[in-house]
Amino acid sequence: MDRLGCVYLVGAGPGDPGLMTIKGRELLSSCDVVVYDHLASKRFLDWVPETCRKIYVGKQAGHHSMKQEEINDVLVELALSGHTVVRLKGGDPFVFGRGGEEILALEKHGIPYETVPGVTSAVAVPECAGIPVTHRAVSRSFHVITGHTQAGMECLPPDFGVYGTLPGTLVFLMGLGQLPLIAKQLIDSGKSPDTPAAVIENGTLPGERVVRAPLSQISSRVREAGLGTPAIIVVGDTAAYEMKYRTAGPLAGRRVGITGTEQFAGKLAAALSEQGAQVSWLVNMKVEDHIEEAPMQAAYRNLPSYTWLVFTSANGVRLFFQGLFKDGRDCRCLGHVKFAVIGDGTGRELSGYGFNADYMPDAYCAKALADGLVHAVSPGDRLLIARSAGGSPILAQTLLNAGIHFDDIVLYEVTGQPSASFIPEEVMGFDYITFASASGVRAFFDCLTQGGTGDKAVGIQGPAVHPKNPKLVCIGAVTARELERQGYKADITAAQYHIEGLVKAIIKDSFV
């Protein structure tokens, strides 16, 4: 018999990826297969390995992709085939998640499993909307109730009236379609028509909306507001509370799509979110190193002949030292070398390996780096430039014109793939799309082409810009020129070529 796999039932939490447990994220990053429901955020899928198989078994109102028995069979079959499976479920696996049914199926076949709790939306969604499910002297208990009935039945269970007699806070999950009936039966069974009620759509997510009204009016108010699923209903005195301190950053309500490597995109997303922006990672840029290839291996062997090491990115610094250590060398072989870096971020990465930059230009771009090196190096110096395959030709050309000896070697290349949250048809809905490199520009438009949408997805015909288009933001002039080669015009080019400069440029534009 083949090796048995293992199934991890992981709670994804209420929607915001930041509210998922560390253990859950670690399991996602190492699984063979992820079996997932209709997730409030597709960013969870960006955490799985590239080789991971993704199987959607979710259920949406009116669109049942797979029966529960079939889902059980899928989990059993995958585990019997030796796979490590993450069964990713919204909220918590045991709070109306039918995790128990899946476990019974696994136990029947002797399959090992583990449950990883998730932050339940029954508590987190009201809390993030400012509604405490309990509050001293107001609500000493809360009750979590499913508002979902059998398919095709537009009625509530016959004993539903008992909920109207319960004290404390009532929280209904999956009940939006039954809201008029829920409100009526609660009132008929004893709840005051004036009982505070609230409905929260897309709780914990950037598009969250909340409608508050007395129980007798909540259904009509929700209908007027056009709220949809996913939504949670809260009934009780605490539903009147709004314990939420509102800080409206300068980018509040603005949707920003970002491209970049995981490390860069994570920092940019955090900086934009801090200013109130709603951020989506559109294109995932992967760094593929060339450390083992002949040119870089020769460069490591010839290190004694170089007097300067030139780095044009933090990725270049990190990968260079990875290759150095992997080859059995250490920092002692660099004692005779001076270092030049393109900017502050690259300099900080270098300092992490115990070296300070001997030269860094005031302007963080390839031309400024090249011009500065022309004056900084001596006639007998020899430079090693270890950088990306798509690096700016200006650096090499300027050094060549000045008669400086150098080797320009490809250390890595950057390729792009659409992230799980990249939906070409929705690109027009963004206020800004940011680009941090020329390779990011190329990858973005390649992804649009692969999606069969082309220019129509962005809505820009050549350099002409329509007021309703997303504005295209570039980190620097080189990136902007690549955008022009694609037939588009950069609306914003950051004056400072780093994350802080990019964010400042967007903030400045938002006030225009």
Catalytic residues: 37, 59, 174
CA angle 448, 453, 455 (to 5 degrees): 80
Instruction: List the structure tokens of 111.
Output: 């399959």
230-252 burial code (b ≥16 CB/10 A, e <16) = bbbbbbbebbebeeeeeeeeebe
Helix (H/G/I), strand (E/B), else coil: 417: strand
* Sign (positive or negative) of CA dihedral 486, 490, 494, 495: positive
**What are the strands, taking DSSP E only, across 155-272?**
169-173, 196-201, 209-214, 231-235, 255-261
User: Which residues have C-beta within 8 Å of that of residue 22, sequence separation ≥ 6?
Assistant: none
User: Which residues have C-beta within 8 Å of that of residue 448, sequence separation ≥ 6?
Assistant: 424, 427, 454, 455, 457, 458
Cross-sheet strand order for the sheet of 53-56 = 53-56, 33-36, 84-89, 6-11, 113-116
Q: Output phi, psi for 349, to 5 deg.
A: -65, -40
**What are the strands, taking DSSP E only, across 307-431?**
308-311, 338-341, 382-388, 405-418
Q: Which of 229, 243, 169 is nearest to 200 (CA)?
A: 229
Q: Which amino acid is at 186?
A: L
- Angstrom CA distances, 96 to 105, 119, 127, stand at 17, 13, 19
d(CA 205, CA 280): 12
Q: Which of 411, 400, 392, 413 is nearest to 373 (CA)?
A: 400
d(CA 28, CA 158): 41
Local structure of residue 333 (DSSP, 8 states):
G
- Angstrom CA distances, 208 to 56, 91, 123, 179, 438, stand at 24, 16, 15, 19, 34
Distance of CA 475 to the CA centre of its chain: 20
Residues 181 and 209: beta-carbon distance below 8 Å: no
Give the residue carrying structure tokens 């990826």. Answer: 17
Residues 472 and 435: beta-carbon distance below 8 Å: yes
d(CA 486, CA 478): 13
Q: Which of 236, 233, 239, 238 is nearest to 166 (CA)?
A: 236
